[in-house]
Amino acid sequence: MSNWVFALGSMLVYLMFAFVIGLLAGRKRSFWSVSEYAVADRGLGLIVIWFMMGGTVFSAFSFLGGPGMAFSKGAASFFVPAYIALGNLPWYLLGPKVGRIGARKNFFTMGDFLGDRYQSKALTVLVGVISVLAFIQYLTLQIKGMAFIFNILTDGVIPYWFGALLAYGIVCAYVATSGVRGAAWSDVLQGALMLIVAWTVGYYLVYTLQGSPTDMFTAINAAKPGFLTIGQDGSQMSGMAYSTVILVSALGFLMWPHLFTKSYTTTEKRIKITTMAFPLFGIFLVPVLFVGFAAIGVVAPNALESSNQILPYLVTHNLGANGWLYGLIGAGALAAAMSSSDAITHGGSVSLGRDVILPFKPDMDERTQVWIMRVGVVVIGAAAYCLSIFGAAGIIALLVGAYGSIAQFVPAVYGALMWRRGTKHGAIAGMVVGIGVNYYFQIVAESTPLDMNAGIVGLLCNIVVFVAVSLMTRPVSAELADEYANA
């Protein structure tokens, strides 16, 4: 029997388990409760929160874009564990404050939080629109990853479009049914599987193809001087580009609305413990990058249509194992993509319902709100699916581009908690300018000043505009500003 048959069978079994767990998570819960759908009635446990936060990081980029970047860009790929180690640290201080405010005021989204602090429905809608668009961009990355996995590990028998539809269709089904609980409990299964697969495959490939990590890096350094450095001759990224991509990713990490709102789902103690344990995910990603380094000198760059295909290519061409192992690796890669997809899809649907639509009809009953959120799962999923099939952007570009947009929430969020003088006019003007600058340098301009990341250029402009406009406009009442600053 062909290896692809075993691989397909293993992946289908995994998908079935993920589907069942996702559906069971929502049993005996209120089907039409906004609180249950959006934040699990603020009652998620420590292990679930840790895996859910980590699952968002361990995405299709980790199993496909990360190895691909290591293979093609060398040391530049180390920005991934660096920003993961740094990105969640602010949650230790911000999370408890946001959680206390959210519980007191019954918030479910970032738009709820910012709209109340700055007393602006327009800001709520703007946050919702930016969030949904960034979610679609980030979700497209995950769906591309699912499609790559199915297509390559089945020797092309499962077409790109169908593999994406099959895997992501299951995600949509359990997210629409069980809300955040479905995403959270599926992430526990997915997280455990992908961590085991990452370490097993990463080190197996290094020792099989290169002898040892020391031999591997010695050979790469001899064959490609400078490839394992930043900002030197032969390196693939300047020091400024490397530093600013870490910075924008670290600053933007907690600004993702689906991560920001996890402050509403659990207790202060669990937030602090999760934050301290979270950098372990950065360590877990190192062997995934080793996959890409192990392929250097083994796989010719012109053998791939895209460097993102390096992991499945090694599995099918160089691993020398049976189809069941192919399937296990495929299941681990699918788990990485799905663990991000479910959280992103859920976050996007909640933002669409609460931040974009509810402000225009504030008297909407709870049942209708939940119905809109469930429909939003399908709408957002369909948009991302179409972009993944017909769009040309690569996985790395999609990840960095999405972070550049979402980092523009930084001034408004930090200003809400730390600067009493911030105003709605400043927050809105700063976001609009920051988003515009970010996309100008991503899409129109050929380069950025000093080779900085486009998101950082946008963020600097955002901060200047936010402060300047706030100082020229009327702030909210001192009582409301104090309530947020002293939370």
pLDDT in tens, 11-20: 888 888 888 8
**DSSP letters spanning 125-148:** HHHHHHHHHHHHHHHHHHHHHHHH
Q: Which residue carries 């939080």 as its tokens?
A: 113
Structure-token pair, residue 141: 């990355």
Q: What is the pLDDT of residue 310?
A: 86
Q: Which pLDDT band, with edges at 50, 70 and 90, does 188 fall under? A: confident
pLDDT in tens, 252-280: 888 988 889 889 988 899 899 988 888 87
Q: Which pLDDT band, with edges at 50, 70 and 90, does 138 fall under? A: confident
**Between 320 and 53, whose confidence is greater?**
53
Please say whether the beta carbons of 240 and 18 come within 8 A. no
- What is the distance, to the nearest Å, from the Cα of residue 68 to the centroid of all Cα atoms in its chain? 17
Integer Cα distance of 435 and 462 in angstroms: 8
Q: Extract long-range pairs of 238-243: CB within 8 Å, 24+ residues apart.
A: 238/451, 240/450, 240/451, 240/452, 241/451, 241/452, 241/453, 242/76, 242/79
Q: How far is the CA of 46 from the CAs of 93, 184, 273, in angstroms?
A: 17, 11, 8
Integer Cα distance of 319 and 484 in angstroms: 55
Please say whether the beta carbons of 365 and 159 come within 8 A. no
* Across 22-36, 226-240, 376-390, least confident range: 22-36
Q: Which residues of 149-165 are buried (b: 16+ CB within 10 A; e: fewer)?
A: bbbbbbeeebebeebbb
Q: How far is the CA of 436 from the CAs of 133, 249, 271, 461, in angstroms?
A: 14, 18, 33, 10
Q: Which pLDDT band, with edges at 50, 70 and 90, does 59 fall under? A: low
**DSSP letters spanning 395-435:** HHHHHHHHHHHHGGGHHHHHHHHH-TT--HHHHHHHHHHHH
SS3 286: helix
The 10 Å Cβ neighbour count of residue 125 is 18
Q: What is the pLDDT of residue 399?
A: 56
SS3 235: coil
Q: What is the pLDDT of residue 189?
A: 76
Q: Is 60 a residue whose pLDDT tops 80?
A: no
For Cα atoms 319, 209, 334, give the angle at the middle one, nearest 5 degrees: 45
Show the DSSP H helices in 42-87 as ranges. 46-57, 60, 66-73, 79-87
Structure-token pair, residue 138: 């980030």
Integer Cα distance of 17 and 190 in angstroms: 10
Structure-token pair, residue 431: 């976001």
SS3 289: helix
Q: What is the pLDDT of residue 102?
A: 93
Please say whether the beta carbons of 404 and 438 come within 8 A. yes
What the chain holds in terms of domains, given with CATH numbers, is 3-399 (1.20.1730.10)
Q: Which pLDDT band, with edges at 50, 70 and 90, does 288 fall under? A: confident
pLDDT in tens, 191-238: 777 778 888 888 888 998 999 999 999 999 999 999 999 988 888 899
> Which residues neighbour 85 within 8 Å (Cβ) at sequence distance 6 or greater?
279, 282
> Which residues neighbour 222 within 8 Å (Cβ) at sequence distance 6 or greater?
none
Q: Is 398 a residue whose pLDDT tops 60?
A: no
Q: Is 397 a residue whose pLDDT tops 80?
A: no
Q: What is the pLDDT of residue 322?
A: 60
Query: How many residues does this entry show for the chain?
Result: 487
Q: What is the pLDDT of residue 350?
A: 92
pLDDT in tens, 140-165: 878 887 887 788 778 788 888 888 88
Provide the total of helices (H) and of strands (E) in the chain, helices listed first: 24, 0
Integer Cα distance of 227 and 27 in angstroms: 52
Q: Is 426 a residue whose pLDDT tops 80?
A: yes
Please say whether the beta carbons of 278 and 53 come within 8 A. yes
